[in-house]
Amino acid sequence: MAAGDDLFADAEHRMQGAVEALRRELGTLRTGRASPSLVERLQVKYYGAAQPLQNIAAIHATDARTLTIQPWDRKALGDIEKAIQKSDLGLNPNNDGQVIRIIIPALTEERRKDLVKVVHKKLDEAKVAVRNIRRDAHDHLRDQEKKKEISADDLKRDTDKLQKLTDKYIAELDKAGSAKEDEILKV
C-alpha cells in the first residue's frame, strides 16, 4: 500500500506545518518579555518595497525588557521606526541615530486576558486546519475504496490510523497553546 503511505506522509507533513505555523504566530504575541520574534516579521517600507524587518536589520534582546534593532543601512532607521509605530504591537521605539531600542512595558491584567483570547483564537484556527487535512485525507481514502483500490477493512484501518495522527497533532497544538498561555499569564 505505497499510495496510502504517501497519503499519510503528506497528511503528517501538512499537520506538522500547521503546528509550526501556530508556533510562529504565537511567537509574535507580546508577553512582557523582549523577544526578537516579536518584531522580526514586521513589514518595513524600504526603498519602496515592503521587507520583513529581519531582512534589513539585526534584532537582539539585550535583556528581559529591551530589544535593540540595528539596521544594515542606517538610512532605514526612520522607516523601521515608522513601521514599529504603525504596528498593533503598542511599542514605542527610541531611535538614537545608530540603533533603535524598544523597552517592552509590563502587561496589564486586562491585556493579558485579551492576549489569552488571541491565543485561543489562533489555536482554534490551527485545529481547524489540522482537521481539514484529516478530512481531505479521509475523502481520498473513501474515493480509493469506491474505486475498489482498497477494501472496506483497509478503509477502517487507515481511518483509525488517520485519527491517531490527527489526535497526535491536536495534542501538540494544545501543548503549544497552553505553554504560550502560561507565558502570558506569568507575572
Give the whole-angstrom CA distance, residue 17 versus residue 155: 25
Asked if residue 44 and residue 89 are part of one domain, the reply reads yes
C-alpha cell read off for 48: 519602496
Is residue 54 within 8 Å of 42, Cβ to Cβ? no
Asked if residue 166 and residue 125 are part of one domain, the reply reads yes
| CA 42 to chain CA mean position, Å | 14
Structural domain boundaries, residue 55? 36-103
Asked if residue 76 and residue 61 are part of one domain, the reply reads yes
What pTM was estimated for this model as a whole? 0.70
Asked if residue 83 and residue 64 are part of one domain, the reply reads yes
Which pLDDT does position 1 carry in this prediction? 41
* Torsion angles phi and psi, residue 96, rounded to 5: -105, 10
Q: What is the CATH number of the domain that holds 142?
A: 1.10.132.20
Is residue 7 within 8 Å of 140, Cβ to Cβ? yes
Asked if residue 140 and residue 173 are part of one domain, the reply reads yes
Q: Of the candidates 103, 119, 143, which is a domain's last residue?
A: 103
Asked if residue 161 and residue 121 are part of one domain, the reply reads yes
Asked if residue 40 and residue 23 are part of one domain, the reply reads no
Contacts 24+ apart (CB under 8 A), 19-25: 19/126, 19/169, 19/172, 19/173, 19/176, 21/126, 21/129, 22/122, 22/123, 22/126, 22/173, 22/176, 22/177, 23/176, 25/122, 25/126
Asked if residue 112 and residue 20 are part of one domain, the reply reads yes
Q: Along the chain (187 residues), what's the average pLDDT of each consecutive run of 10 residues?
A: 75 96 84 79 88 91 89 90 83 89 84 87 95 96 92 93 96 94 82
Asked if residue 178 and residue 114 are part of one domain, the reply reads yes
Q: Of the candidates 103, 122, 157, which is a domain's last residue?
A: 103
Which pLDDT does position 27 carry in this prediction? 81
Is residue 25 within 8 Å of 37, Cβ to Cβ? no
Question: Based on the structure, what is the number of domains in the chain?
Answer: 2
Asked if residue 131 and residue 82 are part of one domain, the reply reads no
Tracing cell 532607521 back to the chain, one arrives at 77
C-alpha cell read off for 34: 523582549
Q: Of the candidates 103, 135, 152, which is a domain's last residue?
A: 103
Asked if residue 117 and residue 181 are part of one domain, the reply reads yes
Asked if residue 68 and residue 53 are part of one domain, the reply reads yes
